[in-house]
Structure 1
Amino acid sequence: MTASVSFEALDAWLDANAEALDADPSRASEVLPQLVRSRAAAVGVPEALGGTGGSIADAIDTVAAVAQRSLTAAFVLWGHRTFIEYVLQSENDALRDRWLTPLLVGESAGATGLSNAMKYLSDIEPLQMHAARSGNAFALNGSLPWITNLRREGFIAAAAFDHDDGSPPSIFAIPHDAPGVVRSDDLDLIGLRASNTAALRVNGTVLDDTYRLAANAPAWLARVRPAFLGLQCGMSIGLARRALLATLEASEASRGSIREEIRSLEATLANQSSQLKQGVLDGTFFNAPATMFELRIALVDTVTQAVSLEVQATGGRGYLRGQSGGARRVREASFIPIVTPSLVQLKSQLARHRRAAAA
């Protein structure tokens, strides 16, 4: 059971600013403060550690609730809350003691730069970051082309590094102000523009073990992947849910002919949401990751169908500026298949699983 958390003020702010957050990068500094003020990022964090209690399933529900109003804000929340989950699941007590409170109160923005690592775990691409011993520390080099929540006011980003001595790859938490850390300008996205999304480069950045989230990246990544993907799927659930709600706001004449499609998709989405939370909680997605890949793929289809039904129900009104959020949701839905791991990458990974199972 989570401690009492009220999202009324956050909901009102998101409703008033969703269009601007999608279109205007100058609003990026406002998003994280709103999220932490409402304690959205503290859901699923033990109360003894400064959170509101509850489970990762509650955190998924929170991401979904934010995504109903703004995928930009949900994308930021996903990055921030996922990094918090990394800190919670790290065996590095010193790192947790140093960073958890600043993350929960928004002094630092957590950025999950592990998309490359998750693709590495699934044999999709090699690691792009490299670590070399430097005395009792490590000299880090490399770049990642796309990380969200690299807040200019201060961030700490996770990244996976291979090692020159043949030891297993490890995960480091990289603070924005460490020497050699370079953030690019914001990427010129077609939407989600207030999400502080940029590239990150490290040039000889030296960090010691107090910044290492995990010493054995493959084993640790397999353990945190259900939360990484589960929180990410919350974005799909919230967006699909809001598109379906929009169909109910249309006139009966507009939605009458697609009523059964709407009801069927609502039932599908409810079932997928239940499967997602159960699979993360009971270990299914850890023991059988292919089942989670299948659900993530299915949710992409659900989002696509939901937004299509909204377009049909809204009709010409949805094509007028300022008349609905339908056009924004169409843009938001176009992002869901490409967020890492992308739909294409997941399908490739599933095909590999099936070939291995048949061998």
Structure 2
Amino acid sequence: MLAATPTTAEAVSAASPLPPEAALTEIAKIASGDLAAWARPIDEGTYPTALLHRLADAGAFRLHLNAGNTLGDAIEGMSLVSEQCVSTGFMAWCQNTLVWYLINSENTAARDTYLAAAAEGRILGGTALSNPMKSFYDIETLKLKGKRVEGGYTVKGILPWVSNLGADHFFGGIFAVEGRDTPVMALFDCAAPAITLKPCERFLSMDGTGTYGVQVRDLFVPDEMVLADNAMSFVKKMRGGFIMLQAGMAVGLIRDCIALMREVEGPLGHVNRFLEVQPDQMAQTLAAIEQEVAALAATPFDTSDAYWRRVVSARLLAGEVSVQAAHNAMLHCGARGYVAAHRCQRRLREAYFVAIVTPATKQLRLMLDQMPA
């Protein structure tokens, strides 16, 4: 049970006790300490509940609860986490995105009940927008279907992959509504008897991210849990933030790949100098990405075509450079990076995730192709 619900203003205030500098310092301390030690078990399938709560206590999931809901600090927090473990960086993105949904919702009942709880990590959860984001570009059809009933909706369907979930977690999802042209977006409570979480097959990486197949069988979703009656306009409002927050995974990963390249300069620099990509070049590329991400993160509610093109282009570049950085880190490390105990091979596997998580490289290119010149 949640505590008595404050007003939205009170919820934001209560969820933001630390200044960003202090929060980022504490996040960095957790990341370089306990998270670094747990990165391999997480990669192999351990869901880090305690670490997520520690990050929440440090303020990791409320850095975008500021006067303009700018995203720079939230992205930096995820970058610090992803420097050590992209699986945990991805879970931080899931949690931050759940908060982002609530920040943007015009349903005061949903905001007042869940915003502070999600921002403070009292409830954990994720985002089930992989299928809807693909459906908006005719890659898939919506897998959740609903119909209007008194006081809310009944919803059914199956989602193959939703992350950062557990028996007491929440997620945001979109469902088509019988007799309506526009879908609805709402919160879903995994504790509901009508929701079943099914374990997924083993992945190449990211097995500790609480990723499940979700079966929804005639779930009643009350109006109080509706985030947007018109999911299409809602997504247009918050899509820039949804995608830009993912940059934290890429930035953190690329930083560590550069560090890996530098770590072997002493023993292997005499031969690594013949490789085409050097750490200084990669650092320059990263600096340009971070500069563009910072500029875009400052105005997440810009709905102009020009801004949207920049967001999609920046996200595409971040994914492509993640793979390039991890590939070159492996070449620089050589055989020592190819052993199972070395983080270099984990970075290579994680980089492919950054490139294929929705919106994946191919979808981002499709999106750019469909935009006005």
TM over 0.5: yes
- Name the structure 1 match of 2:362: 344
- Name the structure 1 match of 2:335: 316
Quote how far apart the aligned CAs of 1:181 are: 1.2
1:184 and 2:198 correspond: yes
- Name the structure 2 match of 1:151: 166
Say which of 307, 311, 322 aligns to 1:292: 311
Contact map agreement 1:10 1:34 (CA 8 A) in 2 = no
Rounded Cα–Cα distance in structure 2 between residues aligned with 1:254 and 1:286:
49
Rounded Cα–Cα distance in structure 1 between residues aligned with 2:46 and 2:88:
14
Rounded Cα–Cα distance in structure 1 between residues aligned with 2:41 and 2:201:
17
Say which of 303, 315, 324 aligns to 1:305: 324
- Name the structure 2 match of 1:272: 289
Rounded Cα–Cα distance in structure 1 between residues aligned with 2:300 and 2:30:
35
Contact map agreement 1:230 1:277 (CA 8 A) in 2 = no
Indicate the SS of the match to 1:32. Answer: helix
- Name the structure 2 match of 1:44: 64
Indicate the SS of the match to 1:145. Answer: strand
Rounded Cα–Cα distance in structure 1 between residues aligned with 2:166 and 2:58:
19
- Name the structure 2 match of 1:231: 245
Quote how far apart the aligned CAs of 1:167 are: 4.8
1:262 and 2:282 correspond: no
Q: 1:194-226, CA deviations, whole angstroms, 9 ceiling, x for partnerless residues?
A: 110111121111122100001111111011111
Quote how far apart the aligned CAs of 1:259 are: 8.5
Contact map agreement 1:168 1:216 (CA 8 A) in 2 = yes
Rounded Cα–Cα distance in structure 2 between residues aligned with 1:270 and 1:54:
23
Say which of 228, 245, 248 aligns to 2:262: 248
Rounded Cα–Cα distance in structure 1 between residues aligned with 2:193 and 2:225:
14
Indicate the SS of the match to 1:305. Answer: helix
Contact map agreement 1:2 1:44 (CA 8 A) in 2 = no
Rounded Cα–Cα distance in structure 1 between residues aligned with 2:102 and 2:289:
28
Quote how far apart the aligned CAs of 1:285 are: 6.3
Rounded Cα–Cα distance in structure 2 between residues aligned with 1:328 and 1:162:
38
Rounded Cα–Cα distance in structure 2 between residues aligned with 1:75 and 1:254:
35
Q: 1:341 to 1:9 in 2, by over 3 A?
A: closer
Q: 1:100 to 1:169 in 2, by over 3 A?
A: same
Quote how far apart the aligned CAs of 1:228 are: 0.9
- Name the structure 2 match of 1:9: 30
Q: Identity of aligned pairs, percent? A: 25
Q: 1:102-141, CA deviations, whole angstroms, 9 ceiling, x for partnerless residues?
A: 2233232121111222223334332211110122221111
- Name the structure 2 match of 1:128: 143
Indicate the SS of the match to 1:203. Answer: strand
Say which of 42, 48, 54 aligns to 1:34: 54
Quote how far apart the aligned CAs of 1:284 are: 8.5
- Name the structure 1 match of 2:87: 72
Rounded Cα–Cα distance in structure 1 between residues aligned with 2:162 and 2:333:
34
Rounded Cα–Cα distance in structure 1 between residues aligned with 2:76 and 2:21:
15
- Which one-letter code corresponds to 1:14 in the other structure? L
Aligned residues: 347
Quote how far apart the aligned CAs of 1:151 are: 2.2
Indicate the SS of the match to 1:275. Answer: helix
Contact map agreement 2:31 2:80 (CA 8 A) in 1 = no
Rounded Cα–Cα distance in structure 1 between residues aligned with 2:277 and 2:86:
27
Q: 1:297 to 1:28 in 2, by over 3 A?
A: same
Q: 1:28 to 1:185 in 2, by over 3 A?
A: farther
- Which one-letter code corresponds to 2:63 in the other structure? V
Larger mean Cα displacement after TM superposition, 7-16 or 64-73: 7-16
Q: How does 1:203-218 map to 2 (within 5 A)?
A: 203-218=217-232
Q: How does 1:63-142 map to 2 (within 5 A)?
A: 63-142=78-157
Rounded Cα–Cα distance in structure 1 between residues aligned with 2:195 and 2:216:
5
Over aligned residues, Cα RMSD in angstroms? 2.2
Larger mean Cα displacement after TM superposition, 116-125 or 255-264: 255-264
User: Please, what TM-score do these two structures have when normalized by structure 2?
Assistant: 0.87
- Name the structure 2 match of 1:50: none
Say which of 315, 322, 345 aligns to 1:327: 345
Contact map agreement 1:10 1:38 (CA 8 A) in 2 = no
Indicate the SS of the match to 1:202. Answer: strand
Q: 1:64-98, CA deviations, whole angstroms, 9 ceiling, x for partnerless residues?
A: 11111001100110001110011011111111111
Quote how far apart the aligned CAs of 1:258 are: 4.3
Quote how far apart the aligned CAs of 1:260 are: 6.5
Indicate the SS of the match to 2:88. Answer: helix
Rounded Cα–Cα distance in structure 2 between residues aligned with 1:12 and 1:283:
32
Contact map agreement 2:241 2:300 (CA 8 A) in 1 = no
Contact map agreement 1:112 1:157 (CA 8 A) in 2 = yes
- Which one-letter code corresponds to 2:38 in the other structure? N
User: Please, what TM-score do these two structures have when normalized by structure 1?
Assistant: 0.90
Mind listing any 5+ residue stretches in structure 1 that lack a counterpart? 48-52
Contact map agreement 1:84 1:110 (CA 8 A) in 2 = no
Contact map agreement 1:111 1:150 (CA 8 A) in 2 = yes
Rounded Cα–Cα distance in structure 1 between residues aligned with 2:212 and 2:113:
25
- Which one-letter code corresponds to 1:38 in the other structure? A
Mind listing any 5+ residue stretches in structure 2 that lack a counterpart? 1-18
- Which one-letter code corresponds to 2:100 in the other structure? E
